[in-house]
Amino acid sequence: MEPPSGAENRYDAAVIGSGISGLAAAVFLAKAGKKVAVFEQAPITGGLLQSFSRNGAIFDTGAHYIGAMEPGQSLWKYFNYLDVADSFDLERLDPSGYDLYKFPDYDFRIPSGYDGLTEALISACHDDNPRVIREIINKIKDFCRLAHLDNPDSDFIRANLPFAGKSSLQALREWGATPVLCRNLLANSPLYGVSPTRCPFYIFALTLDGYTAGAWRFAGGSGKLAAALTDSLQRRGGEIYTKTRVDKIFSENRTASGIGLTNGKKIRSDFIISTAHPKTLCGLSIKGFSDSYKERITNLEDTPGVFSLYLQLNPSIMTANYNTHLYMEHDSSSIYDADRTEPSYIFYSISAGNNGNTLLQAMSFMPMQVVMPWEHTASGKRGEDYLKMKQQWEEKIISCIEKHVPGLKKAILHKNSATPLTFRDYTGSWNGSAYGIAKTIEQEGPRGIYHRSRIKNLLFAGQSAFMPGLYGSVISAVIAAGEILGLADLVNRINMES
Ligand SMILES: Cc1cc2nc3c(=O)[nH]c(=O)nc-3n(C[C@H](O)[C@H](O)[C@H](O)COP(=O)(O)OP(=O)(O)OC[C@H]3O[C@@H](n4cnc5c(N)ncnc54)[C@H](O)[C@@H]3O)c2cc1C
């Protein structure tokens, strides 16, 4: 469907992008009676929430597992308000160990629940004083309680003040954590793509807290969540236009006034919420952004890209209701080095497929320089050398996993893989970056990207605007929609409905 022209094409808010943040922001606004439209360049909605099918099996693009989905918990509250909490299937990961960290010299299985987490750390970290471990876990818990937006006493800034400028590693060390305790707690850093030496404390803590509340994987694909959000928006009169790329932002007196589409149409809107990568936004024709502001954003560091591997396996391979994080290094601080050309960390999960086969989904960070030679090529036309490079990465990853999953190679029925270029071309991620702008301590404060831009009423949302992950992206949507509706009022309504 084409966006309307003439007097009808005026909106209270135009949303750029239909990933989880764009769809969530649009539903928040539509529920409050605002006239809202989402503009998505891809043929289908969902962004990184999209699922895809290969040889009859459904795989996810960018959603392996989520936390806090028990009724009353944080993410559930937002999904409940968005009217989608019951619209997709989840499989709970083992509460006694939802993630297995496999370091070269030992394993650590991390459980849900703060009590279980504390006990698991006490038994794994022999050199640590149990009292210190208890104190550290309590501090993380207290921080998160205050930092969560849905807590009636929430005050993210106050909670975060003592840690401003401190990395997650520095905060833990100052509290007396030994290297082993730091290693176990900070092994979740691949979920946000920044080394613990540079990651702000709150990103680490909120990510840990989410899964400590419980961990679930999507059964049948995260695409169902995208479809449910799309449906929820349309039922409330919100409009969605796919295959519709935004290429201009209009403003008058430094206040947003509308967007332009590549088909030449102009859409008038009082507010614009952009969930595109901020560098993508800066690449559009924008009246109102100075060259220095654009340059500042364009020079920000991004998270690395990922190589994803999707295997269909003979059902003889056992499924596991936990994820494995395979470390070739002793901790997670060096796996992000941009000059790495070999996998130094692999995430994988083995689950039951929709078609009776076993599915293995794996990912590893892949620096952009590995795929640079093909950066100007299009998907499906990148040539033999590219296919060879992909095959080499597939084989390396499969060989690493096979050491822990005997018989893996022989059980492979079908295999597919994706590089940062695939992500760039199918999900619109800037340069193939997995999680957008890197949330580092250097890129916080005045250098950071938050919900307000230099143009009044042009708002940022999405993983670069708050923090990576589905939870962080939903929060970014609450904050952006809250700027229009009143944040306290919106959060209050979300809490009232749960
Ligand atoms: C491999 C991988 C695995 C992940 N696993 C997990 C996980 O297990 N759990 C978890 O919580 N998170 C996970 N994440 C992170 C999570 O997927 C993201 O943080 C989240 O989905 C980002 O949502 P978003 O709305 O910010 O952006 P996106 O989903 O990227 O949506 C942005 C949308 O904007 C559109 N767009 C861009 N420019 C324009 C334009 N000019 N005009 C129109 N449309 C435009 C794009 O096409 C895209 O659809 C993973 C990410 C990756 C890459």
Tell me which of 209, 231, 252 is where a domain ends: 209
Same domain, 180 and 136: yes
Residues 6+ positions from 184 with CB-CB distance below 8 Å: 101, 108, 110, 121, 124, 125
* Ligand 1, atom 27: closest residue by C-alpha: 19
* Ligand 1, atom 21: closest residue by C-alpha: 48
| CB of 246 sitting under 6 A from ligand 1 | yes
Tell me which of 413, 432, 451 is where a domain ends: 432
Same domain, 419 and 457: no
Domain count, the chain: 3
Q: What is the DSSP secondary-structure string of 290-328?
A: -HHHHHHHHTSPBPPEEEEEEEEE-TTSPP-SSEEEEES
Which residue's entry shows tokens 């966006």?
3
Contact yes or no for 304/338 (Cβ under 8 A): yes
* Ligand 1, atom 18: closest residue by C-alpha: 469
Q: What is the DSSP secondary-structure string of 115-139?
A: HHHHHHHHHH-TTS-HHHHHHHHHH
Q: Of 458, 329, 462, which is closest to residue 17 (Cα–Cα)? A: 462
* Ligand 1, atom 16: closest residue by C-alpha: 469
Of all atoms in ligand 1, which is nearest to the CA of residue 247?
Answer: 41
Same domain, 379 and 474: no
Same domain, 191 and 278: no
Question: Distance, CA 44 to ligand 1 centroid (Å)?
Answer: 13
* Ligand 1, atom 50: closest residue by C-alpha: 62
Residue 282 lies in a domain: yes
Contact yes or no for 268/9 (Cβ under 8 A): yes
Contact yes or no for 217/349 (Cβ under 8 A): yes
Tell me which of 406, 432, 458 is where a domain ends: 432
Tell me, what's the pLDDT at 447? 85
| CB of 470 sitting under 6 A from ligand 1 | yes
Same domain, 293 and 308: no
Same domain, 427 and 311: yes
Question: Distance, CA 463 to ligand 1 centroid (Å)?
Answer: 7
Provide the β-strand partners of residue 458. Answer: 272
Residue 87 lies in a domain: no
- pLDDT by position in tens, the chain (length 498): 777 776 678 999 999 999 999 999 999 999 999 999 999 999 999 999 999 999 999 999 999 999 999 999 999 999 999 999 999 999 999 999 999 999 999 999 999 999 999 999 999 988 779 999 999 999 999 999 999 999 888 899 889 888 888 999 999 999 999 999 999 999 999 999 999 999 999 999 999 999 999 999 999 899 999 999 999 999 999 999 999 999 999 999 999 999 999 999 999 999 999 999 999 999 999 988 999 999 999 999 999 999 999 999 999 999 999 999 999 988 778 788 777 788 999 999 999 998 888 999 999 999 888 999 999 999 889 999 999 999 999 999 999 999 999 999 999 999 999 999 999 998 888 889 999 999 999 999 888 889 999 999 999 999 999 999 999 999 999 999 999 999 999 999 999 998
Same domain, 278 and 354: no
| CB of 22 sitting under 6 A from ligand 1 | yes
249 in helix, strand or coil?
Answer: strand
- C-alpha to C-alpha distance for 478 and 228, rounded to whole angstroms: 18
| CB of 449 sitting under 6 A from ligand 1 | no
Residue 1 lies in a domain: no
- C-alpha to C-alpha distance for 33 and 29, rounded to whole angstroms: 7
6 in helix, strand or coil?
Answer: helix
* Ligand 1, atom 45: closest residue by C-alpha: 17
Question: Distance, CA 205 to ligand 1 centroid (Å)?
Answer: 21
Give me the long-range contacts of 445-452 (CB less than 8 A, separation at least 24).
445/164, 445/165, 447/296, 447/300, 449/278, 449/297, 449/300, 451/476, 451/479, 451/480, 451/483, 452/483
- Helices 470-485 and 74-81: crossing angle in degrees, nearest 10, is 50
Residue 457 lies in a domain: yes
Same domain, 378 and 261: no
* Ligand 1, atom 4: closest residue by C-alpha: 62
- C-alpha to C-alpha distance for 89 and 486, rounded to whole angstroms: 32
Q: Of 482, 484, 489, 491, which is closest to residue 457 (Cα–Cα)? A: 484
Please give the torsion angle defined by the CA atoms of residues 431, 426, 343 and 124, in that order, rounded to the nearest 10 degrees. 100
Question: Distance, CA 343 to ligand 1 centroid (Å)?
Answer: 23
| CB of 363 sitting under 6 A from ligand 1 | yes
CA geometry: angle 257, 263, 264, nearest 5 deg? 50
| CB of 462 sitting under 6 A from ligand 1 | yes
409 in helix, strand or coil?
Answer: helix
- C-alpha to C-alpha distance for 226 and 351, rounded to whole angstroms: 21
Same domain, 486 and 394: no
Same domain, 282 and 250: yes
Same domain, 199 and 315: no
Question: Distance, CA 476 to ligand 1 centroid (Å)?
Answer: 12
- Structural domain including 249 reads 6-50+61-81+222-300+436-497
- Determine how many CB atoms are found less than 10 A away from the CB of residue 374: 16
Q: Is the pTM of this model over 0.95?
A: yes
Contact yes or no for 77/150 (Cβ under 8 A): yes
Tell me, what's the pLDDT at 7? 60
Same domain, 316 and 423: yes
- Enter the tokens of residue 212: 């400590």
Residue 217 lies in a domain: no
Of all atoms in ligand 1, which is nearest to the CA of residue 245?
Answer: 42
CA torsion sign for 127, 132, 138, 139 is negative
Question: Distance, CA 66 to ligand 1 centroid (Å)?
Answer: 14
| CB of 245 sitting under 6 A from ligand 1 | yes
- C-alpha to C-alpha distance for 23 and 15, rounded to whole angstroms: 8
* Ligand 1, atom 15: closest residue by C-alpha: 469
* Ligand 1, atom 31: closest residue by C-alpha: 19
| CB of 37 sitting under 6 A from ligand 1 | no
| CB of 64 sitting under 6 A from ligand 1 | yes
Residue 92 lies in a domain: no
* Ligand 1, atom 22: closest residue by C-alpha: 463
| CB of 50 sitting under 6 A from ligand 1 | no
Beta-strand relationship, 458-460 and 266-274: parallel
Which residue's entry shows tokens 């904050």?
479
| CB of 41 sitting under 6 A from ligand 1 | yes
Tell me, what's the pLDDT at 162? 87
